[in-house]
């Protein structure tokens, strides 16, 4: 093990722990002022951030990285403005720290309440999206947590440029500059140290990236993990669907941004749907630049598509590719999702509310939708201001992880001299 990296990470962990103690007591006004400072600094220093992003983009292009990956890495003035606006939207959220989420009295007169508390120190490991630097830093701050960020090597310069202005925003509000830290190396050894918890200084890890990253985190982490392995998102078109509505939803769910975890990967169509729908849909998908792969029944109904195999149903493409399967009603759709789902996001398109309720009740995913695009699987779209990621596990944090999910709770027990018999 590189001793210099170990010492550097140990100091970062110790500094984060000290900062988290101060942040847990910080006022809502002070945290909000820091967020407003950050938003303004990022907006006023777009050129510096874009220059850093250009460096990352050139290196990524030279490596021959995929278009979907480049899209996640790319920044322009509109995307930087979105980052700033995301910070401002977090200001508008209620501060969860100290919120009373339950209160009751016992027959012996004890008054018991449950209140939200910060988690402490959060480690966030992510890959190509530089905006995660700001989103994760801001959400953790709002919830009273310190955060240690470890971005991917491809976004190293972009993430560090954004981080610089987050720290300046903290300092301008007299909050500890170590509240938001970034690992200053791309050495993979640093990830291993983070997963070990830095001598007990990290309380939870949030991975945000591809399957190999998340698998490593889930397999090696010695502390709790919020995250999801893959986003194999399904759309099911029921026989009672409005087919015009269905076509628009499907095109959006797949092609708006094919490289995000909320993009649809598998399309299930009721065998009793109008037979003219599938050929028209396939043409629209192909006109949008999407490759279509289909089961045997799909191949009988339309031309010019590729035959799907078993591997397609368990593949998160993150590209302009979709697999299509004809199913025998909602029961088979639910069964297929149950077998291949990664418990991320699944959506039904139907005008039959009873069928919709059955689907939403029986599909065991973090997010289940009716008559809308899976691309809405996003904390910002849920009104959370932003998200630190999507969690599909069984912890209290499931679905988009926003400020509330970045808190724990404690019990406050008020007595008047009671003793236990």
pLDDT at 370: 98
pLDDT at 156: 95
Alpha-carbon gap, residue 187 to 407, rounded angstroms: 30
Alpha-carbon gap, residue 285 to 252, rounded angstroms: 10
- DSSP letter string, 291-331: EEEE-HHHHHH-SS-EEP-GGGGG----SSEEEEEEESHHH
- DSSP letter string, 90-122: HHTSPP-TT-EEEEEE-TTS-EEEEEEEE--EE
pLDDT at 262: 93
For residue 207, how many C-alpha atoms fall within 13 Å in the half-sphere facing its CB? 26
Name the E strands within 164-263.
180-182, 204-208, 233-237
Q: Which of 9-23, 40-54, 123-137 has the lowest mean pLDDT?
A: 123-137
Going by pLDDT thresholds of 50, 70 and 90, the confidence category of residue 1 is low
Alpha-carbon gap, residue 176 to 100, rounded angstroms: 27
In the predicted model, what is the mean pLDDT of the chain? Answer: 94
Give the mean pLDDT of 385-392. Answer: 80
pLDDT at 162: 98
Share of the chain above pLDDT 70, in %: 99
Phi-psi label, residue 256: left if phi above 0, alpha if psi -120 to 50, beta otherwise: alpha
Q: Which of 41-50, 60-69, 115-124 has the lowest mean pLDDT?
A: 60-69
Q: Which of 115-129, 187-201, 379-393, 396-410 has the lowest mean pLDDT?
A: 379-393
Give the mean pLDDT of 80-109. Answer: 95
pLDDT at 3: 85
Q: Record the tokens describing residue 346, joined without a space.
A: 């699944």
pLDDT at 154: 92
Give the mean pLDDT of 291-298. Answer: 96
pLDDT at 338: 96
**Edge-to-edge order in the sheet of strand 111-118:** 100-105, 111-118, 407-414
Give the mean pLDDT of 302-324. Answer: 94
Give the mean pLDDT of 3-32. Answer: 95
> What domains can be seen in the chain, in order of their start residue?
3-227+401-414 (3.40.605.10), 233-376 (3.40.309.10)
Alpha-carbon gap, residue 176 to 174, rounded angstroms: 7
pLDDT at 94: 92
Q: Which of 299-308, 334-343, 375-384, 386-395 has the lowest mean pLDDT?
A: 386-395
pLDDT at 69: 83
Alpha-carbon gap, residue 289 to 47, rounded angstroms: 33
């Amino acid at each position: 093990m590189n001793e210099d990296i170990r010492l550097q990470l140990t100091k970062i962990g110790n500094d984060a722990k000290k900062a988290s103690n101060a942040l847990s007591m910080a006022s809502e006004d002070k945290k909000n002022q820091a967020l407003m400072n950050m938003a303004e600094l990022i907006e006023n220093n777009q050129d510096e951030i874009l220059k850093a992003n250009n460096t990352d983009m050139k290196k990524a292009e030279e490596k021959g990285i995929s278009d979907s990956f480049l899209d996640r890495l790319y920044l322009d003035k509109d995307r930087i403005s979105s980052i700033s606006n995301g910070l401002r939207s977090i200001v508008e959220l209620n501060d969860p720290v100290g919120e009373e989420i339950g209160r009751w009295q016992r027959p012996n007169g004890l008054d018991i309440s449950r209140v939200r508390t910060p988690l402490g120190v959060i480690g966030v490991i992510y890959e190509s999206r530089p905006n995660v630097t700001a989103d994760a830093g801001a959400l953790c701050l709002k919830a009273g947590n310190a955060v240690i960020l470890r971005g991917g090597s491809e976004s190293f310069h972009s993430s560090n440029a954004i981080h610089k202005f987050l720290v300046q925003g903290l300092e301008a509000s007299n909050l500890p500059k170590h509240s938001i830290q970034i690992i200053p190396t791309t050495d993979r050894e640093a990830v291993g140290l983070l997963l070990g918890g830095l001598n007990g200084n990290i309380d939870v890890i949030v991975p945000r990236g591809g399957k190999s990253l998340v698998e490593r985190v889930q397999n090696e982490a010695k502390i709790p993990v919020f995250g999801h392995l893959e986003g194999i998102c399904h759309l099911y078109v029921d026989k009672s669907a409005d087919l015009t509505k269905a076509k628009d939803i499907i095109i959006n769910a797949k092609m708006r941004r094919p490289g995000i975890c909320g993009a649809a990967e598998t399309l299930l169509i009721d065998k009793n749907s109008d037979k003219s729908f599938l050929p028209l849909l396939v043409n629209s998908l192909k006109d949008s630049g999407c490759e279509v792969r289909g089961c045997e029944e799909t191949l009988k109904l339309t031309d010019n598509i590729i035959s799907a195999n078993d591997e397609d149903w368990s593949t998160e493409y993150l590209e302009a590719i979709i697999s299509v399967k004809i199913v025998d009603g909602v029961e088979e759709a639910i069964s297929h999702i149950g077998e291949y789902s990664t418990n991320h996001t699944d959506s039904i398109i139907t005008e039959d509310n009873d069928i919709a309720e059955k689907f939403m009740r029986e599909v065991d995913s973090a997010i289940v939708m009716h008559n809308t695009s899976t691309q809405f699987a996003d904390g910002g779209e849920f009104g959370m201001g932003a998200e630190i990621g999507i969690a599909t596990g069984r912890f209290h944090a499931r679905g988009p992880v926003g400020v509330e999910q970045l808190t724990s709770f404690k019990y406050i027990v008020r007595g008047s001299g009671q003793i236990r018999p």
